[in-house]
Structure 1
Amino acid sequence: MTFPLMRPARVAAALAALSLVLSAPLVAQLPGEPVASGTDENGKPLRPPNLEPGEKTPWLYRGSNVPVDKEWTFGELSNGVRYAVRRNGVPPGQVSIRVRIDAGSMMETDAEQGFAHLLEHLTFRGSKYVPDGEAIRIWQRLGASFGSDSNAETTPTHTVYKLDLPAATPAGLDESMKILSGMIREPGLTAEAVTAEVPVVMAELRERSGAQVRVGDATRQLFFAGQKLAERSPIGKPETLNAATSPAVRAFHERWYRPENTVIVIAGDVEPATLEALIKTHYGDWKVKGKQAPYPGFGAPDPAKPVARAMVEPGFPYLVSMGILRPWKPVNDTIAYNQQLLIDLVATQLINRRLEGRARGGGSFLQAQVNAEDVSRSVDGTFVSIVPIGDDWQAALADVRGVLADATTTAPTPEEIAREMAEFDAALAVRVESAETEAGSKQADDIIGAVDIRETIAAPQTALDVFRGMTAMYTPERLLEATQRLFSGVTTRAILISPQAVPEAEKLLNTALTRDVTADASARLAAAAVTFDDLPDLGAPGKVTQVTDLRMLGIEMVELSNGVKAILYPNDAEVSKIMVKVRFGNGYQAFPADKPSLAWAGQAALVASGVGEIGQEGLDRLTNGRRIGFGFEIENDAFAFSADTRRSDLADQLKLLAAKLAAPRWDPNPVRRAKAGTELAYRSFSMSPQTVLERDLSYLTRNRDPRWKVPSPQDAAALTPEAFRATWEPLLAQGPIEVMLFGDFEKAEALAALEKTFGALPPRAAVPVVSGADSLTFPAPTAEPVVVRHEGAPDQAAAFLGWPTGGGIIDVQESRQLEILTAIFNSRLFDQLRAQAGASYAPQVLNNWPIAFDKGGYVGVIGQLAPENVGKFFDIANSIAADLAATPVSADELSRATEPLRQLVSRASTGNNFWLNQLQGATRDPRRISALRTILPDYTVTTPERMQALAAKYLVKDKAWSFVVLPEEAPAPTGR
């Protein structure tokens, strides 16, 4: 199983890992243990304990004693197709379909590299029931959006086709199942299709290449040397892709796309019997010739291969990655095996918490993390990544190895173990509480993930029961044994990435890996009890002075005696989850628009700086085992704290956020760490067109407003603990407070908690906007594109073309109509720039309409492409814009834009995040409430004439502004 990285004191990360923890994989084995036989001590086949006498073991649970999740219905067709279906009404009306083929890039021959991925592309072009290019249009008419509702993935070990069908009618569901079956069974692998699609895959390869990919490839080649995975990237190679022919791709399809290699998973708002019938109808008669091709061997780690490698990447910071490698061997999925996985997970979490504590306290590394992972049925490994501060990577590696040496020689304390167990217990308990509102798409993806790594799944309650039933197993001795096993293997390998050449780097790295180190126990975090009583006293509670019914879903606006206002929406749409958002001050409008500031440093260091006398480590202890969060972001017109919590933790969650405003702490270490991280990160922004877009798009499209400038090392030099406090201390004390509570809570309890926390704060006066800060502008038109350079490959470029629109709440209905126009634009751009020209893999059209500013919005077109195709990009984008302004769109094209938007809004409105985002700021500006009442028709009701009028109003060539990202030596384009 591939466990997500466990970061210290992060409930979300713990939940991500534990969501699959009762799904022990058949892809790893404890060293020295024999392959499990799937039998008990009496030699009888293992069998899930919750099956009735005579009940057949579902295919997913054979050889396992993990209890079956009986919400799923499992079945097998006579031809070998396996399936799993279940009823799930989250969101209402949606059906999530996944079709998995047990073939990825590892099944390719040397001459077929990239064929599994190319076949995925070709399958979407056309198939038995759909002409070339029509599948996407058909699903658009049914309300599905390509790329979000319909897509696919190819990995080293599988290919998965995905469809989330909103508002699935019986006819629409049947048609979709028919189309998918035709795609899988008989894709249109014509010579014409192959010729047309290979350039698209080549564009994807080009756009995704660069320094990050080179580093990933080099790491893979070192860690898996001698194994097939070392040379197998799903994207393939230019030489094999360019040599692809229809017969060659068809041969790969015939070899691997077979009933016995196919698993179909469906979770949706339909009876399981109906779903089973559809599977039998569309796959039951599928027959293929010949026998299943033998799976190629993936190999095992070879101790004779080199253990150290160095690589120079100018855009990268110094980075050391280590792998402790063990052979992959299959095991049976048993409760006992899962118990050991949980112990291993706690062991890695203990180490990560220590490493994070060292980094926070001013260690030699900015970040260091450990995770255990089984990779593509090739390696059972423990992986360590280290980002040094500055260029002394040897000191950072030595420091981390010292922490690891301590962990592998001395058992953890009972207090450390209890701390991690409380974290895991809370995460598993939340899964149980929220199981009824888990989305069907996630449940379908979980089954697919389990099949890929040969595992079972377990119901949330089963996972929690198993965890709580093994408390006695979490002894210091067993945790030490697990840690020692995790850091033992047949070989240890490491790669050093550096921005400049390091003399004798591989020799130095080899020496650093083998040099004796002293076990360093100083990273262990001493026990220290911290409770919510240690937070600063907030004063006398306030009182609710006014309650206003918004006459919308039972949502109310509340005002407290100190002027704090709150919006409350109690509901059970997401069981045991409450979204909390606290907005205050003026956000970006609190900073000048004409000179640099330290706005950028807030997200990096403000929360970590602590509360009262409690620093970041204390906050971790304070929230340990609780569902209490603490996020921070800067919005256009407010600062915002945010968290997800639950009813039992709501009062303390509000107290923590209120205490941050009342008595912020100013710990200097998070500021110093933020400064170091900023300086290191900036190097990477020039590596490729994509990273340049990430750095500059917001800044350039806001006419170089410094508030949206990514800080350079020179900017970071201005960040000191003193300057940080001078900037942020007054901002925390300014401006009215808006508290938003959306979710599963009792109104009376919430009001009482508000009165004791935010109601106890002193009154806050409105803060005037900084002069000029309420203004936002899009750049003025220029005859030639602005040119920005990147330091990556010479065959990579990017281009942007944008037209100014507007902003503000008054014309928000027009902004929603622009969403329809940009959807139409985007569909045409996809057809012409990708499907027909093969010039760009993922071009997109954006509608940016800032609600908090009365102007500064734009419609923008972005594409990554080869430098020689920049002119083609501008020609196509301008041609589409001109045609939209000159000619009304067809009724079908309009429907294919509005129906996915209708379904998107309808689905989103079943969750609290939608309502919270729409109503935030309503306590200051009631127009946001009235604007919400027309949201569905604004996005879905229009005419071809209205679209033409909008295009004629905004997509005016003489008003357009553009920029391009080019390689350093490429000539600048003339005109656009």
Structure 2
Amino acid sequence: MSQSARAARTALLTLPLLALALVLPPADAAAPRTRPAPRAATAPAKPALAKPAPTSPTAAPAAKPAPGPWLYRGSDVPQDKEWVFGELPNGLRYAVRSNGVPPGQVSIRVRVDVGSLFEREHERGYAHFLEHLVFRQSQYLGEGEAIHAWQRLGASFGSDTNAETTPTGTTFSIDLPDATPAGLDESMKYLSGMVIAPTLSDKNIQTDLPIVLAEKRERGGAAARVQDALREVLYAGQPLATRSPIGTEATLTAANQTTVRAFHARWYRPENTVVVLAGDRPTAELEALVQKWFAGWSPPGPHTPAPSFGDPVAPPGAVKAPGGGSVIGQTRVLVEPDLPRNITWATLRPWRPVNDTVAYNQGLMIDQIAQAVINRRLEARARGGGSFLVAQVNQQDVSRSTDATFVSVTPLGEDWRAAVKDVRAVIADAMASPPTAEEIAREVAELDVAFASAQEQQALQPGSRLADDIVQAVDIRETVANPDAVLRIFRESVPLITPQAVLQHTRQLFAGTVTRGVLVTPRAADGTAALLRQALAAPVVADGKARLANKPISFDQLPPIGTPGRVAAAVPTGIGQIEQIELANGVKALIWPSNDEPGRVTVKVRFGAGYRAFGPDDAPYIQLGQMALVGSGEATLGQEELDRISTGRKMGFDFKIDDADFTFSADTRQADLADQLYLFAAKLAMPRWDEAPVLRARAASRLQYDGLAASPQGVLQRDLKWLQHNRDPRYRTPTPGEIEAASPAGFRKVWEPVLASGPIEVQVFGDINRDSTVEALTRTFGALAPRAPAAEAMASTAAQVPPGGGAPAVLTHHGDANQAAALVAWPTGGGMAGVRVSRQLEILTNLFTNRLLDRMREKLGASYAPQVFSSWPLDLDSGGAITAIAQLQPRDVPVFFQTADEIAADLVANPPTADELARVIEPLKQQITRAATSSAFFMYQLEGATTDPSRFAAIRTIMPDYTVTTPAIMQGLAKQFLSRERSWRAQIVPAARPAAAAGR
């Protein structure tokens, strides 16, 4: 029942540590699972090598009779009756569903049961290579025609047309926006030809090879070395240890049409294929299309059974961990000078298929509660200071190869052994004695609100996500259930989630065949594989200090914001049911009660002056604020109390800094809306200045910084905003020394006036009651004291823009010597007065994107995913730009600059063709049509409209602004903005020192 894992929400106010994502387990994660009974592994069989025969549409024979839908065989999970399942006589399975979210769209998924684990040694990377090659040329699409064909049907390359290869499967994904019967039929025709009869010629292989190698290169570096080390150690002795989907340069370079066609013939067969369609067409029509285009698929040769993926095996003489049910196996130390220290270990068990029953899912739910209890205790220890910054346990079934429990730890300092010891002590306590009933109730409430929210919003499930759910269920060999069934099963399971049951499941989670681990460290002197093995095998004393005491708290106990205010004016905006509310204290709000989005409410609060509010020396506090401002508390609520008060509630607290304002935002529901508004208003009225979140954010920032230099992507993340703003120091990423010099007192000094000044705009859109929402606004934001105006300097609408011309700025990274990045930016403008120009520039930018993709990727193979994007700040009079960017080899940086200049010059000299323009406009039209079905679209478009009413008028012209143009207009915009002398450029190239990596 694959929906359950995705429903669990992350705890409120989790510290963002994006740079540390490198250390997560290298797995295509599935839902947490209990351990099924073992069965014999399937032995590999000799494959048949046969070339697929071309197909044509065929009158479909009747589908085979079957004892129930194929996905649910062996399961008592209630079937989701919205899906229609079927099987063709050739063995192909399908699932179709009528779904009108968004209107007019149909999502198509074709999943083939072949991934990197199905490859032989000389075929490493073939499954992923095939994913590329089927788009290159096939029965119904000539060479290089696929992208253009779907663009003409309104599908955007990358977002609407995509594919993915994992160790266990390959999935082709099409989201067809305007799915007319003719367009849908054409898409199914194309897909059938791609999957059944791709050309796979030597010419195709040589054309796509540089693209795949570019993808491999761009995914390389420190992050790839960490993932490789984790995979090689944790899954030692199994195919997964060496079967990364990207393959090796040697096997990819040696590929030819004979070997690739043999691989295709062996695995691309109807019995290995599932076709899924979900969208705004009748199910009978969708079902008929599957039969029309896939029933005639009859490959030669016998079926080849899937190979064995092996089992984890303990090495001879391995040491057993004290108090655990597994032995300590392989360990490794990986030295990466730019990465923070991290330790990942995993307890591994054999994976076996299961019957996806209700009882099985009840076991999964207890597993989830057990993990949540431990993770909350680990978070409490980290918040309280100590030896580690962050730690987490996470159970996964990995690629049908192992059922594993992972532990990941980021130490605060150099003493990684103390961090391992402290985390193991918390886990040992969880294995020694049961959690309290209060701890269980807290985690049950968190899951319940997630499942209940999904149930309330089930009418809003997009067809793309529903189709993906079926694909995931097939991949992990489980079923799907609708939100009603998931919520019912969970609530019926709650009596089973007893302290003793959670204790039993906790012990099972940390028992297994073998435990293996990897230490990533910047210094070779930090340790050896033997020391890591000793740390994992050392006796450990259970530490119960992290158990959280039961401290009930409610909003009724909190101080009021102030005296409730009154509504000074309530004015219709003329945009649907959106109303502008003006409160007597100057706060303005836009509210939109909408019955079209049941169960969904979105709240945004924009206030202050954004980056304009800071001084040139404030960069450290800007970064710390993004990480710690919310966690530093409000009223009587510290970080732990903020967590507690939101338990069992659908609430959030996201914070963002923009050029011209700050934003609080959250997804909530009507029942929790008043309290959500209180949280936001109280942060402005009664901020706390707790030191612990600031100190923790400071530690995280220090650890993250060096890692940003490990790749061109990291350097861009670190410096791009700074470059775009002409090296304005406010946009600079602070150094570790600057972060270390920042203090909690300095943090308060910078942020206290920010929270106290500047205008406030509140937006509440969704499934709300108008009158109760207005009342909640008067009791929260209406009760705020009148705000001081922003300082005059903060009201500036000018942005610093880099000067054009001159040599490229040169930045360096510490990653691989074959990695670089380059960008060219042409400054444009800003402000609402030019909003139509900004929208027309999106068309020009997409023209540029298609040409750059064709030149740098399709023809030269120099860059895997070059991109061009346009920015146009509506709150400022300048600062916008068209920016072209690509990752490539250092030797190709001049080629990129030359290519970008040539494309720009041609757009200046010559208007685009009608077909080229149509292939850009149709996807833009479909994107807007789809987006406009959501209140989030209107919320975004109307941000700032309470102070700038021109935004109400601008939303009415959005479709023609983005879709009505001429080749001459495009040429005119190119002449205005894309001249060589206006542009500035930058390149990120390897530093003099080589990348250092070592395993010990």
Flag whether TM exceeds 0.5 (same fold). Answer: yes
Equivalent residue for 1:509, pick from 500, 512, 532: 532
Between the aligned partners of 2:586 and 2:372, the Cα distance in structure 1 is: 43
Between the aligned partners of 1:25 and 1:625, the Cα distance in structure 2 is: 25
Deviations 1:332-378 (A, max 9, x none): 11111111111011000000000011111112111001100000011
Conserved 8 A contact 1:35-1:330: no
Within a 5 Å distance, the mapping from 1:233-272 to structure 2 comes to 233-272=244-283
Within a 5 Å distance, the mapping from 1:592-611 to structure 2 comes to 592=615, 596=619, 598-611=621-634
Conserved 8 A contact 2:7-2:451: no
Within a 5 Å distance, the mapping from 1:376-415 to structure 2 comes to 376-415=399-438
Are 2:118 and 1:107 equivalent residues in the alignment? Answer: yes
Equivalent residue for 2:647, pick from 612, 619, 624: 624
Instruction: Tell me how far 1:781 sits from its aligned partner.
Output: 2.3
- Code of the residue aligned with 2:277 in structure 1: it is I
Cα gap change, 1:506 to 1:704, in 2 (>3 Å): same
Conserved 8 A contact 1:592-1:771: no
Conserved 8 A contact 1:29-1:330: no
Are 2:938 and 1:918 equivalent residues in the alignment? Answer: no
Are 2:433 and 1:433 equivalent residues in the alignment? Answer: no
Q: Which residue of 2 aligns with 1:359?
A: 382
Structure 2 residue runs without a partner (length 5+): 16-28, 42-64, 317-328, 995-1000
Q: Which residue of 2 aligns with 1:937?
A: 960
Cα gap change, 1:417 to 1:26, in 2 (>3 Å): closer
Conserved 8 A contact 1:366-1:389: yes
Cα gap change, 1:403 to 1:4, in 2 (>3 Å): farther
- Code of the residue aligned with 1:875 in structure 2: it is Q
Are 2:20 and 1:9 equivalent residues in the alignment? Answer: no
Equivalent residue for 2:363, pick from 319, 340, 343: 340
Conserved 8 A contact 1:803-1:859: yes
Q: Which residue of 1 aligns with 2:500?
A: 477
Give secondary structure in 1 for the equivalent of 2:466: helix
Q: Which residue of 2 aligns with 1:39?
A: none
Between the aligned partners of 1:633 and 1:800, the Cα distance in structure 2 is: 26
Between the aligned partners of 2:152 and 2:741, the Cα distance in structure 1 is: 54
Percent identity of equivalent pairs: 53
Deviations 1:196-255 (A, max 9, x none): 000000000001101011001001100000000000000110000111111111111111
Q: Which residue of 1 aligns with 2:981?
A: 958
Conserved 8 A contact 2:36-2:353: no
Between the aligned partners of 1:454 and 1:84, the Cα distance in structure 2 is: 15
Instruction: Tell me how far 1:717 sits from its aligned partner.
Output: 2.0
Q: Which residue of 2 aligns with 1:17?
A: none
- Code of the residue aligned with 1:866 in structure 2: it is Q
Between the aligned partners of 1:612 and 1:60, the Cα distance in structure 2 is: 51
Q: Which residue of 1 aligns with 2:835?
A: 812
Greater Cα shift, 298-307 or 75-84 = 298-307
Between the aligned partners of 1:7 and 1:430, the Cα distance in structure 2 is: 11
Cα gap change, 1:25 to 1:515, in 2 (>3 Å): closer
Are 2:694 and 1:671 equivalent residues in the alignment? Answer: yes
Cα gap change, 1:578 to 1:25, in 2 (>3 Å): closer
- Code of the residue aligned with 1:282 in structure 2: it is W
- Code of the residue aligned with 1:506 in structure 2: it is A
Q: Which residue of 1 aligns with 2:55?
A: none
Instruction: Tell me how far 1:933 sits from its aligned partner.
Output: 1.6
Instruction: Tell me how far 1:312 sits from its aligned partner.
Output: 0.1
Instruction: Tell me how far 1:464 sits from its aligned partner.
Output: 0.9
Conserved 8 A contact 1:95-1:270: yes
Conserved 8 A contact 2:33-2:363: no
Between the aligned partners of 1:432 and 1:5, the Cα distance in structure 2 is: 10
- Code of the residue aligned with 1:287 in structure 2: it is S
Conserved 8 A contact 2:13-2:639: no
Greater Cα shift, 646-655 or 519-528 = 646-655
Conserved 8 A contact 2:866-2:884: yes
Within a 5 Å distance, the mapping from 1:198-347 to structure 2 comes to 198-304=209-315, 306-347=329-370
Q: Which residue of 2 aligns with 1:716?
A: 739
Between the aligned partners of 1:457 and 1:639, the Cα distance in structure 2 is: 40
Cα gap change, 1:518 to 1:508, in 2 (>3 Å): same
Instruction: Tell me how far 1:459 sits from its aligned partner.
Output: 1.1
Within a 5 Å distance, the mapping from 1:438-517 to structure 2 comes to 438-502=461-525, 504-517=527-540
- Code of the residue aligned with 2:390 in structure 1: it is Q
Q: Which residue of 1 aligns with 2:99?
A: 88
Within a 5 Å distance, the mapping from 1:160-171 to structure 2 comes to 160-171=171-182
Between the aligned partners of 1:6 and 1:429, the Cα distance in structure 2 is: 11
Instruction: Tell me how far 1:502 sits from its aligned partner.
Output: 2.4
Deviations 1:869-905 (A, max 9, x none): 1111111111110000000111110011111111111
Instruction: Tell me how far 1:11 sits from its aligned partner.
Output: 10
Between the aligned partners of 1:25 and 1:644, the Cα distance in structure 2 is: 25
Between the aligned partners of 1:282 and 1:175, the Cα distance in structure 2 is: 10
Give secondary structure in 1 for the equivalent of 2:524: coil
Q: Which residue of 2 aligns with 1:852?
A: 875
Conserved 8 A contact 2:823-2:986: yes
Instruction: Tell me how far 1:914 sits from its aligned partner.
Output: 1.0
Between the aligned partners of 1:922 and 1:332, the Cα distance in structure 2 is: 54
Equivalent residue for 2:716, pick from 679, 693, 700: 693
Between the aligned partners of 1:376 and 1:290, the Cα distance in structure 2 is: 27
Instruction: Tell me how far 1:772 sits from its aligned partner.
Output: 8.7
Q: TM-score, normalised by structure 2?
A: 0.92
Deviations 1:234-280 (A, max 9, x none): 01100001111111111111111100011011110000000000111
Q: Which residue of 2 aligns with 1:18?
A: none
Between the aligned partners of 2:127 and 2:38, the Cα distance in structure 1 is: 35
- Code of the residue aligned with 1:680 in structure 2: it is L
Between the aligned partners of 1:578 and 1:28, the Cα distance in structure 2 is: 32
Q: Which residue of 1 aligns with 2:71?
A: 60
Conserved 8 A contact 1:27-1:377: no
Conserved 8 A contact 1:692-1:965: yes
Conserved 8 A contact 2:125-2:252: yes
Are 2:848 and 1:837 equivalent residues in the alignment? Answer: no
Deviations 1:148-206 (A, max 9, x none): 00000000000000000001111101101100111111112111111100000000000
- Code of the residue aligned with 1:955 in structure 2: it is L
Between the aligned partners of 1:215 and 1:25, the Cα distance in structure 2 is: 21
Give secondary structure in 2 for the equivalent of 1:924: coil
Q: TM-score, normalised by structure 1?
A: 0.94
Equivalent residue for 1:886, pick from 886, 909, 913: 909
Instruction: Tell me how far 1:769 sits from its aligned partner.
Output: 4.2
Are 2:194 and 1:183 equivalent residues in the alignment? Answer: yes
Conserved 8 A contact 1:25-1:333: no
Between the aligned partners of 1:939 and 1:875, the Cα distance in structure 2 is: 29
- Code of the residue aligned with 1:845 in structure 2: it is V
- Code of the residue aligned with 2:292 in structure 1: it is T
- Code of the residue aligned with 1:214 in structure 2: it is R
Q: Which residue of 2 aligns with 1:584?
A: 607
Conserved 8 A contact 1:560-1:755: yes
- Code of the residue aligned with 2:490 in structure 1: it is F
Cα gap change, 1:543 to 1:522, in 2 (>3 Å): same
Q: Which residue of 2 aligns with 1:146?
A: 157
- Code of the residue aligned with 1:401 in structure 2: it is R
Give secondary structure in 2 for the equivalent of 1:741: strand
Conserved 8 A contact 1:27-1:331: no
Between the aligned partners of 2:136 and 2:461, the Cα distance in structure 1 is: 32
Cα gap change, 1:139 to 1:33, in 2 (>3 Å): closer
Structure 1's consecutive aligned runs of 4 or more residues displaced over 4 angstroms after TM superposition are 1-8, 10-13, 24-29, 31-36, 593-597
Give secondary structure in 2 for the equivalent of 1:767: coil
Instruction: Tell me how far 1:712 sits from its aligned partner.
Output: 1.5
Between the aligned partners of 1:707 and 1:448, the Cα distance in structure 2 is: 45
Are 2:576 and 1:565 equivalent residues in the alignment? Answer: no
Instruction: Tell me how far 1:777 sits from its aligned partner.
Output: 2.3
- RMSD of equivalent CA atoms: 2.0
Instruction: Tell me how far 1:771 sits from its aligned partner.
Output: 6.1
Between the aligned partners of 1:6 and 1:261, the Cα distance in structure 2 is: 31
- Code of the residue aligned with 1:479 in structure 2: it is V
Between the aligned partners of 1:916 and 1:658, the Cα distance in structure 2 is: 19
Instruction: Tell me how far 1:572 sits from its aligned partner.
Output: 2.5
Conserved 8 A contact 1:829-1:877: yes
Between the aligned partners of 2:465 and 2:619, the Cα distance in structure 1 is: 43
Q: Which residue of 2 aligns with 1:128?
A: 139
Structure 1 residue runs without a partner (length 5+): 14-23, 37-53, 972-976
Q: Which residue of 1 aligns with 2:45?
A: none
